[in-house]
Amino acid sequence: MHTIYNFVSGPLAWLAFIIFIGGSIYKIVTMAKLAKKKDPSVYEYWDTGFALRSIAVWSIPFATVNWRKNPVMTLVTFAFHISLIVVPLFLCAHALLWKEVFDINWWYIPNGLADIMTLIVIGSCIFFAVRRSIRHDVKYLTSKSDYLILLMVAAPFVTGFWAYHQFPAYRLMFILHMLSGEFVLAAIPFTRLSHMLYAVFTRGYIGSEFGAVRHARDW
Amino acid sequence: MTDSSSWDWSIGKRQIADITQWKETFGYVEEPYVSPDGEKIAAIIKTEDMEFSVCENGNAWENAFDKVWFLRYSPDNRLTGIVSDTAEWTLAVEGEAWENKYDFAWNTIFGRDGKSMLLMTQADGEYSVLINDVPWEETFPYMTNLAGNADATRAAAVAQTIRFSEGDIFAFQKGCYTVAVDGKVWDTNFVNVYEPVFSADSAHVAAQVRTSLYDYTIVVDGEPWPAVWPWVWKAAFSPADGSVTAPVKTPEGWTLARDGHVFWGQRFAQLWHHVYSPNGMSIAAIVAPKYGHWTVAIDGNAWKKTFNDLVTDLVLSPSGRRAACAGKENDRYTIAVDGTPWPFHCDMAWEPVFSPDEQHVAAKIEKDGQFTVAVDGKPMKAQFKNLWNPVFSPDGEKIMIRAIEGSGDKETYVRQVLPLTEILG
Amino acid sequence: MGEPASKIEVKNIKDIGLDEGAARLTPERIEKVINEVIDNETGARLKVYVDTCVHCGLCSEACHYYLSNDKNPVYAPAGKVKQTLWEIVEKKGKVSPDFIRRAAELCYTECNLCRRCAMYCPFGIDVAYMMLTMRRICHKLGVIPQYIQDTAQSHSATMNQMWVKEDEWIDTLFWQEEEAAEEIENLRIPLEKEGAEVMYSVIGPEPKFRAQLIYQAAVIMDVAGVDWTMPATPGWDNSDMAMYTGDNEMMGRLKKEHFETAMRLKVKKIVMGECGHAFRSVYDMGNRAVGWKMPPVQMVHALEFYYDLFKAGKIKVKEKYDKPVTLHDPCNVIRGRGLHEMARYVVNKVCETFIEMTPNREHNYCCCAGGGVINCGPPFRDKRVYSNRVKADQLAATKKKGVEVCIAPCHNCHGGLEDIIHHYKLGMELKFLGDIIYEVMEKPE
């Protein structure tokens, strides 16, 4: 168990970070190069001011018509994404890791809050899965991989919650927590989770086109 | 080219016509046109019987018509207009209508010395060409893209040779168009044909064609080039060796092809309107080295200076050593000569003109509703209500300004010859 | 209100262009053409759009097809991409002729490219771009509805949409000039007047079917004292169905002809009639096809032009139009150019009572005729009428508030709304804004 722990928390963690960072850079650079070659106009019409305007508006809950039209989805989406980013970065235990490995003093959130946010992530994943299976239009778009991704995202939170609260077999869960977390991290650039990398650009581009060329709002 | 040496090149300004007076006399006066030598000015007017006629230097044509339009001077200073009487259309030259009349006539084309002229005609739904009042024997269900050779004694046009009904998309795709040269059609039909052009010696004609919905090439005297491209633009003949060149789009970008083979090494985001120097030794073209940036390339080498809106009116000097164009950036025009823009911007710039010794470039420009001429980047002090393109004297030392002067409602047409030094200082 | 969805025939409406085109396909040709288009003509944009879509369905309710067809998911924007490009990208072009047949009917007749869904996708994924890519593939494969293909072929042969011949164009202008001169003495439609301030350009159907619009425009120009001209050569038509069939090379050729005509005439701007798709072509897509980042000559849509004239006081209103009106916001000049407030300024200037329909401005529902759908002709008429029940509901709601006239400042919208008003028995009049301006403006006696 101990060797597995060492492996998972040591080399494998490094590997996951390397794949995530390296993969993300690779993906963004190759897309940027491809765009330069095949869609040069994307650069010509990019307007940072209007791109930021669009990103800003869409980053505020209920600021857009579509956010307002789907209040539950909006609440869940924002709560989910905020929790998804905040918990792994600012969990007390993770902050200790930052300190231990990189000697960085990092902010952290109270454990009670982290617990709530973890449950939000898990609950949101369940919500998304149910939504996928009952709404006709979403069901029509859904493939197995969509459920798989939800499972992938939920896994580190479920296992982390489990391990933290020392439910039965929590040592195993702890290793599974690290494993699944590393897996998700490494998968970001290469699965649909890459929307995390691209969203800024797709949103920014349509914001540029709507703002600078078409003089219209895109929300 | 017309021989301008016989024109009056004595220094001085003459008032030729008082347009204000015309308006008082006729009431209805359209925009005026001026002869190349600057001696005459004319406009379409309405007579007392509400018929159309033409006033030239203050005198109305004897004949009036149901309609007169497309008033234009030939290069040898003859005044022409397209006229109709009782729904019959033809060309009138110096007020006299041609004998042959049609259901419609349009698109007058002049030879470079002005002696010959031609236009398109339609009668009973059949299209043809009329050259110096002599019609082609052949007619076609449709013709478009009329072109003349340099002296306008021969004509070519895109002609429809097979009739098909609207909606019959597959018949169209088999090819129903070709080129008619002096009434004789090429053997092969194509899906589309564009912009026939004559060689300098008038012996050959080339055109762009679409051989299927997806393949374009150049056809010379009915023979297509062996290669196809997804896109081509207007072809041109080399005056030196009669070879044919055209912009073609390759996977790497636009370039120039000659006689069916790519022959410029450079690739561009766009390339069109290539022109030869009269000796055929040099080719200039309007190009976009990259998307949205326009300039001129000489023999494939683009100027460093680019314009973000457009480049137009590319001209080569007589020897081909120099090039000038009008360019627009951030919604303002200027003239660029040999890659260097003039040091001002204006609201509109017209085609630049080289002096015969190609030492100087002049152009008509407009700024804040006033017109003037600039030479080598230096605008004249005088401003005008309107203006025609400046003309250099054969020795290149003088320049003729043909302009409308006046303030308020007053409008007079003046012809002025001045030494170039007066503008250049 | 409206028809039950069961009446809607979703698949394979008979059309010789689609049927014959698909019959000529082989799997090899399909694979080759698809991969050529994907490899050579698309790049990061398509890849990122395909990878980024999280299949959340938040775009569904943006689409009038989806809403009008009882939320049938095949009509949701992402659902349409699923049935076309996702499959094509996933199978690397190994799809059947039947697949292409269905994909073609979908991309040409079940999406108006109105870009409303781009405003509803949190990532700003441009579904219209993907439908246009699908159309590009269909064009290359020769599977295109007959009517719109015929129109694109007219463009290629005559440089206008309606097979209008060179002489017919000029003759029509003379005819309209003559008629208008009977109302206003010495009124002129100046042809080929080099150096005029404005070139006025129209779409092919104006000289062919709606010549009175040229008459009205001439009167407005004349009264407002605009220094204007119209070309007597091809290049007068600003419309562009090649843009919508996927014939991008022809789109570029048409726009070159149009803008170079304006450059030759040395005008400072081109004013165009009340048309939406043509505006998209001259302002957004066609200019880009040849490398002009923005229109090389300033393009002014009729709505902006009217606005400028009223702002400058060049047109005065004799008596406001007294019937209550509503305004349909055409996608291509509202989402495509943001002219909605200018339109409202003009409507309020000329009409006594203006009642908004909801949603409006950028969020207005498409007419279901745009994007070339109405140009696919009678075979697809019913589908587009049934597929815009929401528009009928929207109009009916304004009627309840007393609206008698709907202003639609776009030709395709006009055609589409006419069918909707007729089919759903809404009993409303339909007008161009120019119709009303012409009616209420002060003219010389």
DSSP string computed for A68-135: HH-HHHHHHHHHHHHHHHHHHHHBHHHHHHHHHHH------B-HHHHHHHHHHHHHHHHHHHHHHHH-
Q: Hey, is the C-beta of B174 within 8 angstroms of any chain A C-beta?
A: no
Q: In Å, how far is B339's CA from the nearest CA of chain A?
A: 24
Please, which residues 6-35 of chain A have a Cβ atom closer than 8 Å to chain C? 31-32, 34-35
Please, which residues 284-323 of chain B have a Cβ atom closer than 8 Å to chain A? 290-292
Kindly report, residue by residue over A101-136, the tens digit of the pLDDT.
888 888 899 999 999 999 999 999 999 999 999 999
Nearest-Cα residue of chain C relative to residue A215:
C338
The answer on pLDDT for C294 being more than 70 is: yes
Q: Hey, is the C-beta of B26 within 8 angstroms of any chain C C-beta?
A: no
Average pLDDT of the segment spanning B28-45: 97
- The H or E element spanning position B53 is strand B52-56
Residue contact B67–C174, C-beta within 8 A: yes
- Taking contacts as CB-CB distances below 8 angstroms, the residues of chain C near B214 are 140
Mean pLDDT of chain C: 96
Q: In Å, how far is C426's CA from the nearest CA of chain B?
A: 32
Residue contact A34–C78, C-beta within 8 A: no
B44 and B81 Cβ atoms separated by less than 8 Å = yes
- The strand ranges marked E within B190-320 are 192-198, 205-210, 216-220, 223-224, 236-237, 244-250, 253-258, 261-262, 270-276, 283-290, 293-298, 301-302, 310-316
Is 1.10.1060 the CATH classification of the domain at C5-144?
yes
Which chains does C contact via 3+ CB–CB distances below 8 A? Answer: A, B
CA pair distance C427, C439, nearest whole angstrom:
21
Using alpha carbons only, how large is chain C's radius of gyration in Å?
Answer: 22
CA pair distance B270, B290, nearest whole angstrom:
8
CA pair distance C435, C301, nearest whole angstrom:
16
Average pLDDT of the segment spanning A57-62: 97
Give the pLDDT band of residue B57 (cuts 50, 70, 90).
very high
Give the pLDDT band of residue A6 (cuts 50, 70, 90).
confident
C384 and C109 Cβ atoms separated by less than 8 Å = yes
Sheet arrangement for strand B104-110: B104-110, B117-123, B126-131, B134-135
Please, which residues 87-126 of chain A have a Cβ atom closer than 8 Å to chain C? none
What is the percentage of chain B residues whose pLDDT exceeds 70?
100
CA pair distance C279, C258, nearest whole angstrom:
12
Nearest-Cα residue of chain A relative to residue B252:
A37
- Taking contacts as CB-CB distances below 8 angstroms, the residues of chain C near A32 are 44
CA pair distance C376, C107, nearest whole angstrom:
11
Using alpha carbons only, how large is chain B's radius of gyration in Å?
Answer: 23
Closest CA to B340 of B296, B391, B276: B296
Residue A10 lies in a domain: yes
- Taking contacts as CB-CB distances below 8 angstroms, the residues of chain B near A40 are 269, 290-291
Please, which residues 139-178 of chain A have a Cβ atom closer than 8 Å to chain C? 139-143, 146
- Taking contacts as CB-CB distances below 8 angstroms, the residues of chain B near C174 are 67, 69
A180: region left, alpha or beta (phi > 0 left; psi from -120 to 50 alpha): alpha
Residue contact A34–C47, C-beta within 8 A: yes
Distance of CA B125 to the CA centre of its chain: 27
Report pLDDT for B222: 97
What interhelical angle do C146-158 and C16-23 show, nearest 10? 90
Residue A85 lies in a domain: yes
Nearest-Cα residue of chain B relative to residue C192:
B70
Q: Which of A68, A142, A214, A215 to mutate to test the interface with C (most CBs of C within 10 A)?
A: A214
- Taking contacts as CB-CB distances below 8 angstroms, the residues of chain B near C166 are 106-107, 120, 144
CA pair distance C157, C154, nearest whole angstrom:
5
- Taking contacts as CB-CB distances below 8 angstroms, the residues of chain B near C293 are 291-292, 308
Report pLDDT for A1: 61
Q: In Å, how far is C381's CA from the nearest CA of chain B?
A: 17
Q: Which of A70, A77, A137 sits opposite C71 (nearest CB)?
A: A137
Residue A127 lies in a domain: yes
Q: What tokens were used for C150? A: 């015929």
CA pair distance C428, C328, nearest whole angstrom:
13
Kindly report, residue by residue over A163-201, the tens digit of the pLDDT.
999 999 999 999 999 999 999 999 999 999 999 999 999
Residue contact A215–C337, C-beta within 8 A: yes
- Taking contacts as CB-CB distances below 8 angstroms, the residues of chain B near C167 are 103-104, 106, 120, 122
**Measured between alpha carbons, how far is residue B314 from residues B173, B266, B339, C257, C443 in Å?**
35, 19, 12, 17, 44
Residue A218 lies in a domain: no
Nearest-Cα residue of chain B relative to residue A43:
B291
B254 and B268 Cβ atoms separated by less than 8 Å = yes
Closest CA to C320 of C151, C436, C236, C148: C436
B vs C: CB pairs below 8 A: 100
Report pLDDT for B1: 56
Q: Which of C142, C167, C266 sits opposite B213 (nearest CB)?
A: C142
Q: In Å, how far is B342's CA from the nearest CA of chain A?
A: 27
Paired residues of B245 in beta bridges: B236, B258
CA pair distance C242, A104, nearest whole angstrom:
60
All structural domains of chain C with their residue ranges: 5-144, 159-311
Q: Judge if ipTM > 0.95.
A: yes
- Taking contacts as CB-CB distances below 8 angstroms, the residues of chain A near B269 are 40
Give the pLDDT band of residue C6 (cuts 50, 70, 90).
very low
Residue A75 lies in a domain: yes
- Taking contacts as CB-CB distances below 8 angstroms, the residues of chain C near B366 are 195
Q: Hey, is the C-beta of B170 within 8 angstroms of any chain C C-beta?
A: yes
CA pair distance B245, B256, nearest whole angstrom:
7
- Taking contacts as CB-CB distances below 8 angstroms, the residues of chain B near C232 are 69-70, 106-107
CA pair distance B346, B334, nearest whole angstrom:
6
Q: Which of C75, C123, C127 to mutate to test the interface with A (most CBs of A within 10 A)?
A: C123
Q: Which of B213, B215, B233, B310 to mutate to test the interface with C (most CBs of C within 10 A)?
A: B213
CA pair distance B94, B56, nearest whole angstrom:
10
Diameter of chain B by CA atoms?
66
- The H or E element spanning position C366 is none
Kindly report the length of chain A.
Answer: 219
Kindly report, residue by residue over C303-332, the tens digit of the pLDDT.
999 999 999 999 999 999 999 999 999 999
Report pLDDT for A5: 85
CA pair distance A99, C330, nearest whole angstrom:
58
Q: What tokens were used for C367? A: 């007419």
Give the burial string for C254-289 (b: 16+ CB within 10 Å, else e): bbbbbbbbbbbbbbbbbbbbbbbbbbbbbbbbbbbb
Q: What tokens were used for B62? A: 């004897």
Give the burial string for C400-414 (b: 16+ CB within 10 Å, else e): eeebbbbbbbbbbbb
Q: Which of A37, A44, A45 to mutate to test the interface with B (most CBs of B within 10 A)?
A: A44
- Taking contacts as CB-CB distances below 8 angstroms, the residues of chain B near C170 are 104, 106
The answer on pLDDT for C360 being more than 90 is: yes
Kindly report, residue by residue over B228-285, the tens digit of the pLDDT.
999 999 999 999 999 999 999 999 999 999 999 999 999 999 999 999 998 898 999 9
C296 and B310 Cβ atoms separated by less than 8 Å = yes
Residue contact C191–B70, C-beta within 8 A: yes
CA pair distance B193, B140, nearest whole angstrom:
15
In which residue are the tokens 């209550």 written? C324
Q: What tokens were used for B209? A: 């064609």
Give the pLDDT band of residue C1 (cuts 50, 70, 90).
very low
- Taking contacts as CB-CB distances below 8 angstroms, the residues of chain A near C79 are 137, 140-141
Nearest-Cα residue of chain B relative to residue C159:
B144
Residue A116 belongs to domain with CATH number:
1.20.950
Q: Which of A66, A136, A217 sits opposite C362 (nearest CB)?
A: A217
Nearest-Cα residue of chain A relative to residue B290:
A40
| Predicted TM-score (pTM) of this structure | 0.96
Closest CA to C130 of C87, C101, C161: C87
If one counts the domains in chain A, the total is: 1
Q: Hey, is the C-beta of B27 within 8 angstroms of any chain A C-beta?
A: no
- Taking contacts as CB-CB distances below 8 angstroms, the residues of chain C near A139 are 73
Residue A219 lies in a domain: no
Q: Is the dihedral of CA A154, A158, A164, A170 positive or negative?
A: negative
What is the percentage of chain C residues whose pLDDT exceeds 70?
98
Q: What tokens were used for C108? A: 């040409």
CA pair distance B243, B237, nearest whole angstrom:
6
Kindly report, residue by residue over B207-235, the tens digit of the pLDDT.
999 999 999 999 999 999 999 999 999 99
Mean pLDDT of chain A: 94
Average pLDDT of the segment spanning C350-363: 97
**Measured between alpha carbons, how far is residue A205 from residues C47, C335, C363, C419 in Å?**
14, 15, 20, 36
CA pair distance B315, B351, nearest whole angstrom:
8
Closest CA to C431 of C328, C288, C354: C328
Structural domain span for residue A186: 2-213
Closest CA to C188 of A137, B58, B31, B380: B31
Q: Strand, helix or coil at C280? A: helix
B4 and B394 Cβ atoms separated by less than 8 Å = yes
The answer on pLDDT for C9 being more than 50 is: no
Q: Hey, is the C-beta of B230 within 8 angstroms of any chain A C-beta?
A: no
Measured torsion, CA atoms of residues B200, B204, B207, B210, in degrees rounded to the nearest 10: -160
Residue contact C55–A141, C-beta within 8 A: yes
Nearest-Cα residue of chain A relative to residue C38:
A38
- Taking contacts as CB-CB distances below 8 angstroms, the residues of chain C near B309 are 292, 294, 296
The contacts of residue C348 (CB under 8 Å, 6+ apart) are: C354
- Taking contacts as CB-CB distances below 8 angstroms, the residues of chain C near A29 are none
A5-9, B89-93, B132-136, C420-424, range with the lowest pLDDT: A5-9
In angstroms, the first-to-last Cα distance of chain C is: 47
C190 and C228 Cβ atoms separated by less than 8 Å = yes
The answer on pLDDT for B327 being more than 70 is: yes
Paired residues of B135 in beta bridges: B130
